Every structure is written in C-alpha cells, then in structure tokens.
Amino acid sequence: MMTERVLVLAASDREALGGVRAVPGLQAAEAAGEVWLRGLPAAGELPLAVRALPAAAAYTLDGQGRLFPAGSRTPTAQLPALSWQPIRAFMPLELPTAALPAQGAPRYRVRLVPSDRAEGGAALLTTLAVWREYAETAPAIRLESLRFAVAADQRVLLLGTPLPPIPGQEHWLREGLLLPAGFDFEAPLLALLLARQLNANADALLLFAADGSWERISKADLVPVTRSAVRLTMEGFRDE
Amino acid sequence: MLLTAFLHDILTTGAVTLAGQPSPFEPTDLHAAEASLRAYHAEDALELPQVAPAFDAPAALWATQFLYHTVQLALLRELDERVIGQCLKDFAGEITPEAIYSADLTFRYLPDLLRLAKGLAPGDALVTRLLAVAQQWPLSFVGTALDATEAEAEAVVLAHPALRPAYIDRIIQMKDRARAGQPHLAPLVQAALGGHAATLWPDFAAFTILA
C-alpha cells in the first residue's frame, strides 16, 4: 500500500523550495547533490506550488520504503536513510539581498533663517582686542556676571547678563544652542533634536553661525571674568 | 618673622598668629614683608582698572603694621589709649595715590576689624582711632560711615584714573548707600551701573532720588 509521494530535486534547485514552505507536513533532506521531499499525499492532486517544483524524479513510497516511479508498479529504489527536517527548518527564511544600492539616511541641511522673534541676548561673540579694551576700564560689577572663552583665532565668546556694550555678534540661547540674534532654525523643532544629538550630556554649548555652521564649546572652557583673567589671556597670545 | 608670617596668613588663610604684646618688628622681618607686599601689589594691580599706582613700600609696610597692631589691640582689651596711640600712628608720608593703593593692600581688611571692635565695645579708644583713620583712607573704608573731613582724602582718590573706578566698584560691591547717595558720587555710580541699575542695584534709584 502506497503511503506517500516523494520528489527528488537537484540540489542546485534548492531555492525553488521557498515556494513550498507553507505546504503542511512536508519534509526535506539533502544527500549526494539531490534534495528529497516527502510528506506528500499518495493520491490526489498535489498543491500547485509542489507541482511547480523542478522535480528530477517523482516516486510513490510504499510501507516498506520502496520507491515506485510515477505510473510504475515496479519499485526502482529504496528510500535512502536521510536526515529529514521539516521544510521550514530545511529552508529557513533569510532577508533578501537588496536589489538596489543601499541608501543612507536622508541628510538634512541645518538652515537658519531670519526670524521675527525678539529674544534676549545670552552671549556675545567678539574679538580679544575689543574685549580686552572694554575689560580694562569696565566697572567690576559689569564683569563679574560674565564668563568667557577665547578661541585660538582670538574670537571671544561672552556669556551672561547684562552683556557688555561692545561690537560683536549677539546670540540667543535655545536648548543649549546659541543662535545668532535675529535668526532661528528653518524648522524650529530641530533645536531640541540637535541638542539631543550633538550635546547629549549637556556639557557644552553649540555656537551657530548664520550660515548654519556650528562649533562646540565645552562649558568647562568658560571661565569667570576677572580683569586679571582677561589681561593674562591677552598676554598669553602676545607670548605665542 | 612675625609680620611676614602675619601677612602670609592673612592673604592666604585668614587665620593669623600674633605676639602676646605689641613690640617692634625686626629689620629682616620688615624687609621680607616688603618683598611679599611688592609681589602682592603686582598681582592685585591686575584687577585694578586702567594702570594701577606704583608700589609705595613705606605706605604698604606702615599699613601692614597698623593692621597687625589693630588685631592685637582688638584681642588684648586691657591695653589702654597710650598703647593705642603708640602702635597706631598716622602715616608719616604724603598721602598720594601710590600710598593710598599700597596701604589699601592690607587696609582693606580693617573695616571688618572695625565692625568686630564696635561689636565688642562700641565706645572704646580702638574704635575711635579706627574711625579717625577711616576718614583719611576712604578707599579702604568703603562701607564705613562718612565724615565731612574725608572730602580731602577722597579727592585724591577721585582724581586718579585707576583709583576712581576702583572706589566706585567698591561702593557698588559693598552697597554703600551713604556714599552712593552723595551728589558727587551718585553720577559716577550711575555711570558704572549704566542702563542696568535696576538689575544690578535694584534700590539705587530710590535712595538717590530721596537723597
């Protein structure tokens, strides 16, 4: 009595088995360059996906493990002892290789645009020469509420209020970002995202220019203003 | 090296060690103290607006000894007016900007001592002596009550381009309303505060209008 049908495929056609992963009870094994399939009903029409397989041979299996070629009453072989696996284990799912070249995350150019919002100034970007000239004679009370940092190119960033009345680019503070006065992000929600992305530890200030470029200034580099600190900083540059 | 050690302590820790009785200082001690004062002057001058007055060694040394003896007298309450007169003599030299600033290096600690002495015995001879000195050295005694006799000494301060703003800075820092309300000082204080007077000294406008 026939128990089931068995199909044999060339191992090179293994990929075709992807179409029959959903057929219930199907088992597969591979040996000697061939893929064997079993678990198909002995009678009746096979599912379309099975019929579409590029089978090299099709057999009917009897209870003794003998293989009968389709339409033949004479067995031609014995079912080999194979390591059978459920079809889903035999053909695990794999992520397909992208058919198109990989794409990076879309890039967004940070743009600052003129804004009609009037915000109080929180910082002033000026030069060391201008700053020193002011600090030489400024009332102490106007200095002691400020902190400053000097860049190698002698730009000076001053923070605090009130800011000194000297020439420079005033900035306003938003989420730890210093934006030029009169400017805001083209997409205002960007401020929070940028702050999280670029200054996750909140240990720095990001100084933006009107063209959208920015530089990171560590809070540790901002020192309290004293007249001596300004004078000694200036001397340090003269010695270089 | 009593004076040198005293100077070092007061400039660094604020806790000083003194001799039990007033006595003159050794020449080597005075010499070492002068060197310390000169170095401190150079350091302190960096904080002064404009160009600080030059170091005046006699004034700086006199003021340091004056401070030393004042601390002694504040602690040794049994010493009488005679000892106070001997130890706390007036400065023998001319009171120039250089002398004012050099003396101020240590005299700036005297107002605190005056407040302490007033608290211990408001009417004693030491307090009277310190109040008299306060009139002669207005830069160092900002925050101490004014007297009409101070005008001449104050004029020297106000005439100097570095001492004038330093004086105004101290008036603002000490919130010395009596001085800030003076007609000749109020405009200078107002100029220093600029348009931020309401923030930096909230009641400045109120008491200057009343004055």
pLDDT digits (tens, 9 = 90+) for A153-190: 999 999 999 999 999 999 999 988 999 999 999 888 88
Lowest average pLDDT, out of A2-6, A32-36, B69-73, B164-168, goes to A2-6
- Given this model, what pLDDT does residue A189 score? 84
Q: Give chain A as a 3 state SS string.
A: CEEEEEEEEEHHHHHHHHHHCCCCCCEEEEECCEEEEEEEECCCCCCHHHHCCCCCEEEEEECCCEEEECCCCCCCEECCCCCCEEHHHHCCCCCCCCCCCCCCCCCCCCCEEECCCCCCCCEEEEEHHHHHHHHHHCCHHHHCCEEEEECCCCEEEEEECCCCCCCCEEEEEECCEEEECCEEECCCCHHHHHHHHHCCCCCEEEEECCCCCEEEEEHHHCEECCHHHHHHHHHHHHHC
Task: Please indicate whether, in this complex, the C-beta atoms of B49 and A141 are within 8 angstroms of each other.
Answer: no
Phi, psi torsion values for A227, nearest 5 degrees: -60, -40
Element of type H or E holding B76: none
| Chain A residues closer than 8 Å to B168 by CB | 139
Average confidence (pLDDT) over A73-97 = 85
- Given this model, what pLDDT does residue A113 score? 92
Task: Please indicate whether, in this complex, the C-beta atoms of B192 and A165 are within 8 angstroms of each other.
Answer: no
Alpha carbon distance B5, B43 (integer Å): 19
User: How far does B50 lie from chain A, in Å, by closest CA?
Assistant: 6
pLDDT band at B33 (very low <50, low <70, confident <90, very high): very high
| Chain B residues closer than 8 Å to A137 by CB | 49-50, 165
pLDDT at B149 over 60: no
- Given this model, what pLDDT does residue A142 score? 95
ipTM of the complex: 0.87
Average confidence (pLDDT) over A73-95 = 87
- Given this model, what pLDDT does residue B74 score? 85
- Given this model, what pLDDT does residue A116 score? 86
Of B169, B195, B196, the CB nearest to A140: B169
Q: Is A66 an interface residue toward B (CB < 8 Å)?
A: no
User: How far does B51 lie from chain A, in Å, by closest CA?
Assistant: 9
Residues on B contacting A at a C-beta cutoff of 8 Å: 43, 46-50, 165, 168-169, 172-173, 192-196, 199-200
Task: Please indicate whether, in this complex, the C-beta atoms of B200 and A232 are within 8 angstroms of each other.
Answer: no
pLDDT at B24 over 90: no
Structural domain spans, chain B = 2-160, 175-211
pLDDT band at B184 (very low <50, low <70, confident <90, very high): very high
| Chain A residues closer than 8 Å to B50 by CB | 136-137
Residue A80 is which amino acid? P
Average confidence (pLDDT) over B147-159 = 82
Structural domain spans, chain A = 2-90, 112-239
pLDDT at B163 over 60: yes
pLDDT per position as a tens digit, A26-83: 899 988 889 999 888 888 888 888 888 888 888 988 888 889 988 788 888 888 888 8
Of A139, A228, A231, the CB nearest to B165: A139
- Given this model, what pLDDT does residue B138 score? 94
Nearest C-alpha in B relative to A134 = B49
- Given this model, what pLDDT does residue B176 score? 93
C-alpha dist (Å) from residue A169 to A83, A156, A213, B153: 77, 10, 15, 43
Tokens of A165: 């009345």
Of A141, A165, A227, the CB nearest to B49: A227
Task: Please indicate whether, in this complex, the C-beta atoms of B168 and A165 are within 8 angstroms of each other.
Answer: no
Lowest average pLDDT, out of A63-77, A110-124, A216-230, B138-152, goes to B138-152
Which of A133, A134, A141, A146 should we substitute to test contact with B (largest number of B Cβ atoms within 10 Å)? Answer: A141
- The proportion of chain B whose per-residue pLDDT surpasses 70, expressed as a percent, equals 95
- Given this model, what pLDDT does residue B73 score? 87
